[in-house]
Amino acid sequence: LGQLLVLKLGQKLNEGKTKQIIELADESGHVLVQSKDQITAGNAARKDQMEGKAAIANRTTSCVFKLLQEAGIKTAFVRQQSETAFVAARCEMIPIEWVCRRLATGSFLKRNPGVKEGYRFSPLKMEMFFKDDANNDPQWSEEQLLEKKFCLAGLTIGRCEVDIMNRTTVAIFEILERAWATQNCTLVDMKIEFGVNVSSKEIVLADVIDNDSWRLWPAGDRGQQKDKQVYRDLKEVTPEAMQMVKKNFEWVSERVKLLLEPQASGRVVVLMGSISDLAHCEKIRKACGSYGIPCVLRVTSAHKGPDETLRIKAEYEGDGVATVFVAVAGRSNGLGPVMSGNTAYPVINCPPITPDWGAQDVWSSLRMPSGLGCSTVLSPDAAAQFAAQIFGLSDHLLWAKLRASMLNTWVSLKQADQKLQACSL
Ligand SMILES: Nc1ncnc2c1ncn2[C@@H]1O[C@H](COP(=O)(O)OP(=O)(O)OP(=O)(O)O)[C@@H](O)[C@H]1O
Ligand SMILES: *[C@@H]1O[C@H](CO)[C@@H](O)[C@H](O)[C@H]1NC(C)=O
Ligand SMILES: *[C@@H]1O[C@H](CO)[C@@H](O)[C@H](O)[C@H]1NC(C)=O
Ligand SMILES: *[C@@H]1O[C@H](CO)[C@@H](O)[C@H](O)[C@H]1NC(C)=O
Ligand SMILES: *[C@@H]1O[C@H](CO)[C@@H](O)[C@H](O)[C@H]1NC(C)=O
Ligand SMILES: CC(=O)N[C@H]1CO[C@H](CO)[C@@H](O)[C@@H]1O
Ligand SMILES: [Mg+2]
């Protein structure tokens, strides 16, 4: 509450069943999203105050948005403000619920009789629902959304915007699915909403992601579900039953914090055959930094000082830190192959190719003796990215960055094309 007093609140912009949206007098373009202390189901037909629920919802939303934000997904979330409130970009909300499913359950089974609960969707199943309480949020097709030509904060929701939301929903699901897997929890399905940031006119993930937004089955077992379904399924709302729902909520909100914890931390060791390769190696280090991977640079030549090369290698073996070696050697690359033949850690060749002899030199990185498994990439960025992909196998936070970056590249291409088409009209 102390922190809250520091904020100068403007007028209340909106109030729904679970939260209030309040203007911030001193931060234009931002709002305070304040959770209300109650749980609703069946469109508020069932309403019970649940002490502490808002705080738990706050924690869930902040952790999930933080995870996505750090991965590089564009969200409205700015910062946690108090136990029950966070500051977000002011958005005009697109009145669509995007639903993404891995396993069939709930309303999908009713709409698709014959499909058994637990049917696995691969690729993920996408659905959208128009937010219209009076008509029970009807399911919509893409065509229905396109024909509506919604205009929010000056942005018309057309083909490009719909594709971006669809793709972003899939990326968000995959990131959260991977994160929950670290807790042995299956993310069964999820619903999210997008808004248009009124300042940037960009589509961003908005509203909240909390217990109401997903189904989670610990160990893939519906019987142990920890989501709001438990509340919906209650036959009678007794204090004991509500206590159980709250305990489930707490179970999730305790675990959601663990989603932000790195699983393992690795390191990249770049070996260069000569100090003249330093500029190339600095680019690798910089790119590793963008993934948050520590990177050390060493100079050693496998041709001129093989004893030193193996001694340096030994420094990074056996201390329990997962290591990827990157070998940078011009002309004849002996460094990568010698490393690869003498360590079980992965080795990536990244030779600094020159215009004169590059076409010949590259063969020293490609044509290997049998038994060696080093890879070769030519750009420093690619070397760092490949190392990140290796660490991403066991680090969901790193994997999330790679996944978000793939999405953002796709979105940039889409937007560049749209801009070009608009200009040539
Ligand atoms: N960053 C934001 N900027 C502006 N409005 C927002 C933002 N985040 C959420 N909102 C909107 O605030 C309103 C209140 O939220 P709440 O979830 O309580 O509504 P609700 O009763 O569940 O109604 P709805 O069916 O629209 O979700 C919603 O219309 C929601 O879309
Ligand atoms: C999302 O995109 C997929 C793949 O292009 C498409 O099959 C699906 O119909 C889209 N879903 C919605 C709800 O728009
Ligand atoms: C997940 O399950 C595996 C295998 O059952 C177990 O070894 C591991 O400790 C579990 N992890 C968590 C976080 O519960
Ligand atoms: C919203 O857009 C403004 C203007 O571009 C930008 O400064 C701000 O960071 C955006 N907010 C969020 C949360 O993305
Ligand atoms: C999310 O779920 C957890 C546990 O199931 C619960 O503690 C929390 O209150 C839920 N949040 C919301 C908004 O329902
Ligand atoms: C009361 C409470 O749980 N508040 C939390 C809201 O979420 C942030 C981010 O996880 C926490 O730092 C607060 O403690
Ligand atoms: Mg809502």
- As a whole number, mean pLDDT of residues 194-218 equals 93
Position in ligand 3 atom list of the atom nearest CA 182: 13
Domain count, the chain: 3
Question: What pLDDT, in 10s, does the model give residues 82-123?
Answer: 878 899 999 999 999 999 999 999 999 999 999 999 999 999
Q: How far is the CA of 230 from the centre of ligand 5 (A)?
A: 11
- Domain for residue 81, yes or no? yes
- Domain for residue 420, yes or no? no
Residues 113 and 81 in one domain: no
On the CB side of 371, CA atoms within 13 Å amount to 7
Q: How far is the CA of 128 from the centre of ligand 5 (A)?
A: 23
Query: Would you place residue 1 in the very low, low, confident or very high pLDDT band (cuts 50, 70, 90)?
Result: very low
Which of 239, 258, 277 is the C-terminal boundary of a domain?
258
Question: What pLDDT, in 10s, does the model give residues 257-288?
Answer: 999 988 778 999 999 999 999 999 999 999 99
Mutate to test the pocket of ligand 2, among 99, 111, 126 (most ligand atoms within 8 A of CB): 126
Selection from 365, 267, 277, 285 nearest residue 325 by Cα: 267
Say what the pLDDT of residue 43 is: 46
Say what the pLDDT of residue 40 is: 52
* Dihedral angle computed from the Cα positions of residues 391, 396, 397 and 399, in that order, rounded to the nearest 10 degrees: 60
Ligand number nearest CA of 208 is 1
Q: How far is the CA of 211 from the centre of ligand 6 (A)?
A: 15
Residues 123 and 53 in one domain: no
Decide if pLDDT at 221 tops 80.
no
Ligand 6 lining (C-beta closer than 6 Å) = 55, 58-59, 62-63, 80, 83
- As a whole number, mean pLDDT of residues 63-78 equals 96
Residues 287 and 157 in one domain: no
Question: What pLDDT, in 10s, does the model give residues 235-250?
Answer: 777 787 777 777 777 7
Say what the pLDDT of residue 50 is: 54
Ligand 1 lining (C-beta closer than 6 Å) = 14, 16-19, 21, 31, 33, 76, 88, 90-91, 93, 131, 195, 206-207
Residues 142 and 158 in one domain: yes
Q: How far is the CA of 16 from the centre of ligand 6 (A)?
A: 22
Say what the pLDDT of residue 108 is: 98
Which of 258, 289, 320 is the C-terminal boundary of a domain?
258
**How distant is the alpha carbon of residue 222 from its chain centre?**
25
Residues 374 and 287 in one domain: yes
Range of the domain at 7: 2-85
Residues 50 and 168 in one domain: no
Judged by average pLDDT, the poorest of 39-53, 127-141, 205-219 is 39-53
**Share in percent of the chain as helix, strand, coil (round to 5):** 40, 25, 35
Judged by average pLDDT, the poorest of 57-61, 63-67, 253-257, 262-266 is 57-61
Query: Would you place residue 4 in the very low, low, confident or very high pLDDT band (cuts 50, 70, 90)?
Result: low
Q: Is the CB of 57 inside a 6 Å radius of any atom of ligand 5?
A: yes
Q: What tokens were used for 140?
A: 């919509």
